[in-house]
Chain A
Amino acid sequence: MRGWRPALRIAWRDALRHRGRSILVLVMISLPVLAVSAAAVVIKTAEVSGVERADRVLGAADARVRTEGRGALVQAPDPLESGWTPVGEVDLDAPLTEDELRAVLGQDARLVPIEDGSAATRLDDRVFDFSTIGVDLSDPIAEGLFELEAGRLPDAPGEVVVNGAMLDKGFAVGDELDVAGTALRIVGAGRDATAYDYPVVLGSSQDMRSGAVNLREWLVDAGPVSWSQVRELNAIGAVVVSRAVLADPPDDASMSEQLGYGTGQEETYAVAALIIVMALIEVVLLAGPAFAVGARRHARTLALIAASGGTPAQARRVIIASGVVLGLVASVAGLVLGVLAGWAALPFVQRFNGEWFGPFEAPWPYLAAIVVFGLVSALLASVVPAWLASRQDVVAVLAGRRGDRRPRASTPVVGLVLLGIGVAASAYGAVTAGGGSGAFWIAGAAILSVLGMILVVPVVVSTVARLAGRLPLTARYAARDAARHRARTVPAVAAVAATVAGVVALGIANASDEESNEATYWPQAPMGTGVVSWGPNVLPGEEAPDPEPVWSSIEQVVRETVPGVEVERTHGLAESYDPNGWTSQQVVLPPDLEDGEGWGLSVYGPSVAVSDTAAGAGVVGDVLGDVDRALAAGRTVVFTLAAEGDVEASLVEETWREGSEQAVDRRVHRLDAVMVPWDQATSGPAPASTILPTAVTDELGLEVMTRDLRLTGDLDEATETRVDEAVRGVTDGTYTYVERGYERPDEAVVVLLVLGALGGLLMLGGTLTATFLALSDARPDLATLSAVGAAPRTRRRVAASYAVVVGLVGSVLGAAVGFIPGVAISRPLTAAQMGPSGEEAGPFLAVPWLLVAVIVVALPLLTAAVVGLTARSRLPLVARLD
């Protein structure tokens, strides 16, 4: 430590003296630290695990025991988090009894039944689902499961309390709630321990049956339940959440093996490692130039240290010490601000989460790791400048000349080799795409390629400087100066290049994925056609409403709302539902036609349509005539992939009862049918798989009803929205759909925008850093320019030129490198897809040229414009004359 003290002192003073540069480094390092520690706080707080969850599911109980039948199982110490699995046969018909549990838990253990389930109810014409919890809330053991905020707790059968989300649905304390035919009165409202935005109803366990036949669950009051007791209960078929076990979990390595997880761990670690390495590279590159400038400013100090007998290691320490000082300050500042930001963001994030967050939690081990990340990035950023500074030519520096050693010729060669390995590994990853590890090869190769690229940057920068002779003065100056101050320019250019490489790679991956999505899109209806469908929401025991009046009002509303759109009803066989069961109808072809060219068609309308004309069933295309002729002759039309000609098909009607495993009634009708091949590739999905003429349905006495409304005409998105809103106003359970072909999902666009914005920001950061550090280095040159008569705006021109050099070189190089992983990753992403007609499709490769052009050309120019406009235009005075 003693050897470090002078170095640290110099670094500390230097950081205070050069505030601008210090702030630059602080921002570069503290921002990622801030973001990640805020995220860690939010994630850890949102995550409810272990002891936190215990309070929510246990209330005041010592354990919660659940059984679905008799038979050994293994469970994780926290079964709600990590699950359980049976190890043998489970006898569902012989549930465990309370006595058997008491044999393990102790004879005086108190078992309070609790039921966890779900139910549905009707509010006006809407049906919605909610969770149910059946437990005696007045029992002290249930304390903590529900926090009463209004009214009172239920104290008699038929009384329930609800949570806030239930009130939001339109219920109020005092209302009656109809659940499965039983009227329950809401006597109170409050906060459920777990659910935040999902409706929950709590009542006695008699009123709130879970509905599951074999499931039984108890809250246990028996003192701490040990892990060995848990294992004993597991052996007879009970899953146990024990407060004592959660508080002090046993080593669960053997458990996880039996539960069969741990398989996905390596992948998660690999992904995390990749992200950390990339972030580290980016931060190091962004902060690097500031240390390079610092090292140059210290050139004389270091030379003096060397002249007075200091070793190169001692010289290095001066620069590395500034990495230590700035890295520590930045990490700690970022951590403090990040924890505060995470805390402040919690209420906002809670709104998007269905479960209550746990209490505020700062995960110190993670946060410590994040601080180490910040410190390491600062150290790494200062290492190269420190090493270069320790190699300087002492005599030259003391004589006032530049003491840079020439760069090693081997560096770019190593870079090219790394790039080559990167290309090879990417190619390997792309070829072994099916194996699943392809993506890791490619991501690893991306890191190698970026590292290789960094080593090539100095050569590229020198080459640009050599070619700059013909450029206008300021550009020539910028290019040459950039090459002269490589220690500062190279990391900045590399930072821009790494960012661009990432954006280009992800852009190619995204574009290829989109192209694959588009090529493999399965339309749900013919292009431009709209469908309004409706199915009644019926609670068990309720009679379904008569559909025809509902359809009439839906049709009327649609016609009134969009008069210009053609509306037609599609009819089909009724899929009747009554409280006791339902009847299904199915058209069956002879067995030799069932596969391949017979079935396999995608259908957007009813399976069995009923119509006397092809147009009436929504048939389009050149099969119209064939279908019309067959229907006119009273024959059934069956659409196939390829088979054609007459066929003897049969209509199978089966009636099912609730809870039964076999059809109670089965009727088969012979159909005189014609097979008509449907060309999906051109006409899209078929309107039905079978069309029956009314002659057949009349003869067989089949019930025909409206199945949906088919809309054709001008159906833009505004029209679709109007139709959708109008039919929703008529009744519950409607669905409006208009086929527009493949449309890019909004999230994909948002992801692209965020990616672009982040890329732009990092690029701007890299460019600005390099430019303003260059400007401060260029002070004497600018003073000279002023003395020989440069106009004040020259400074702006120099700044803008600098930004162009850094931005353009970086983005061209980065785009080239980004193609390597981008093209490679598109293969595992898009290979082995299935096209809309079932054919094999992919892999796809699409290059978003517009994005590439914007990033390579437009963004550097834009950055240069920003730099040019924001740079001060006053030129400094020559030092001697100051």
Chain B
Amino acid sequence: MNAVLHLASVSRVHGEGATEVHALRSVTFRAHPGELVAVMGPSGSGKSTLLTLAGGLDAPTSGSVWIEGTDLATLDNAGRARMRRTSVGYVFQDFNLIPALTAAENVALPRELDGEKGRIARRLALTALEEVGIVDLADRFPDEMSGGQQQRVAIARAIVGERRLILADEPTGALDTDTGEEILRLLRARCDAGAAGVMVTHEARHAAWADRVVFLRDGVVVDETGADEPEILLAGDRA
């Protein structure tokens, strides 16, 4: 099966000379449809860099990032933005909802930015909110909701419009245990429904929800658990 996300020998160097920092060193990594991958590692191991590169928010120093068969290096800024609207959904630790917009409007955001008509975008948003179970809060503003509710809205925004790659950065970090579990269940369900998920976390408990766990240390993949076909590791150039 083709990977939704494919990082091929990706390196990212910040700074130059004495201040040079190797955030990632020649990392190769894939996420397939229906698969939830947990990325773990200590602080500064390059987890977050991996997510920014995967979403095209940043570009690798060397190597290439492929999303659904497209090399991000071939896209300009606008093209990468379009990719985020249509193929990639982000979920952040501190939700990052826009306080001036209602829940439904926050969820509809990627569709509206994509030029979808307001009414259609809202319908898609309500469908996504339905999936995360808070359609009744559609017209509330973020500061009128609890943290768990806000993170559900963020997940709804990440999945609206059938996007196939969900990138989650410590999605439960700001939530209590029970709420966190619910959020993970939602993510798991979304992946079971066919999306590929990559979740950065530092709690082994959460990693249990994943099909596979990738350990990073000092920018290098030091361990990988779970099933991964050996030939994929060898054939790094296959998309």
Contacts and interface: CB of A to CB of B under 8 A. Distances in A.
B99 A484 contact: yes
B57 A787 contact: yes
A401 B99 CA distance: 11
A481 interface: yes
B210 interface: no
Interface stretch (A254-262, A788-796, A860-868): A788-796
B81 A792 contact: yes
B92 interface: yes
A401 B81 CA distance: 30
Given A402-B143, A785-B113, A789-B113, A880 B92 contact: yes
Pick from A470, A787, A789, A877 the residue with the most CB of B within 10 Å: A789
A724 B74 CA distance: 74
A881 B98 contact: no
A826 to B, nearest CB: 42
Given A473-B113, A789-B114, A880-B92, A484 B81 contact: no
A788 B78 contact: no
B48 interface: yes
A784 B107 CA distance: 12
A786 interface: yes
A790 B113 CA distance: 6
Contacts of B92: 787, 878, 880-881
A473 B81 contact: no
B98 A477 contact: yes
B198 interface: no
B6 interface: no
A89 to B, nearest CB: 83
Nearest to B121: A473
Given A787-B57, A788-B84, A789-B83, A476 B113 contact: no
A780 interface: yes
Nearest to B97: A784
A481 B58 CA distance: 28
B169 A477 contact: no
Nearest to A485: B100
A51 B183 CA distance: 86
Nearest to A784: B96
A551 B98 CA distance: 85
Given A786-B81, A787-B55, A789-B114, A473 B109 contact: yes
Contacts of B96: 780, 783-784, 787, 878, 880
A791 B89 CA distance: 15
Nearest to B88: A789
Contacts of A480: 100-101
B25 interface: no
Contacts of B48: 880-881
A36 B86 CA distance: 57
Interface string B84-108: 1110111011101111110001000
A234 B88 CA distance: 97
A791 B105 contact: no
Interface string A376-417: 000000000000000000000000011000000000000000
Interface residues of A, number: 27
Main secondary structure on A side of the interface with B? helix
A787 B88 CA distance: 9
A786 B112 CA distance: 13
B169 to A, nearest CB: 6
B113 A791 contact: yes
Given A790-B113, A880-B93, A881-B52, A785 B98 contact: yes
A806 to B, nearest CB: 15
Nearest to B92: A880
A130 to B, nearest CB: 73
Contact of B157 (A788, A878, A881): A788
B151 to A, nearest CB: 14
A792 B113 contact: no
Contacts of A877: 52, 57-58
A477 B100 contact: yes
Contact of B81 (A476, A784, A791): A791
A626 interface: no
B9 to A, nearest CB: 22
A781 interface: yes
Contacts of A791: 77-78, 81-82, 113
B51 interface: yes
Nearest to B82: A789
B110 interface: yes
Given A786-B57, A789-B114, A477 B82 contact: no
B162 to A, nearest CB: 14
Contacts of B99: 402, 484, 781
Contacts of B143: 401-402
A472 to B, nearest CB: 8
Pick from A402, A476, A878 the residue with the most CB of B within 10 Å: A878
B214 to A, nearest CB: 18
B93 A788 contact: no
A849 to B, nearest CB: 35
B100 A787 contact: no
A402 B112 CA distance: 27
A528 to B, nearest CB: 61
Interface string B48-92: 100110010110000000000000000001100111111011101
A482 B81 CA distance: 26
Nearest to B107: A788
Contacts of B78: 791-792
A10 B93 CA distance: 31
Interface in A679-700: none
Given A786-B57, A788-B109, A880 B94 contact: yes
A878 B84 CA distance: 14
Nearest to B77: A792
Contacts of B89: 788
B128 to A, nearest CB: 12
Pick from A473, A480, A481, A787 the residue with the most CB of B within 10 Å: A787
Contacts of A787: 55, 57, 84, 90, 92, 96
Given A401-B143, A480-B100, A881 B113 contact: no
B57 A881 contact: yes
B161 to A, nearest CB: 10
7 contacts: A401-B143, A473-B112, A477-B100, A789-B82, A789-B85, A877-B57, A881-B52
Given A476-B105, A788-B90, 14 more contacts: A472-B118, A473-B105, A473-B113, A481-B100, A784-B97, A788-B110, A789-B113, A791-B77, A791-B82, A877-B57, A880-B94, A880-B96, A880-B170, A881-B51
Interface of B: 48, 51-52, 55, 57-58, 77-78, 81-86, 88-90, 92-94, 96-101, 105, 109-110, 112-114, 118, 143, 157, 169-170
- Which 5 residue pairs spanning A and B have beta carbons closest together? A789-B85, A789-B84, A480-B100, A481-B100, A784-B96
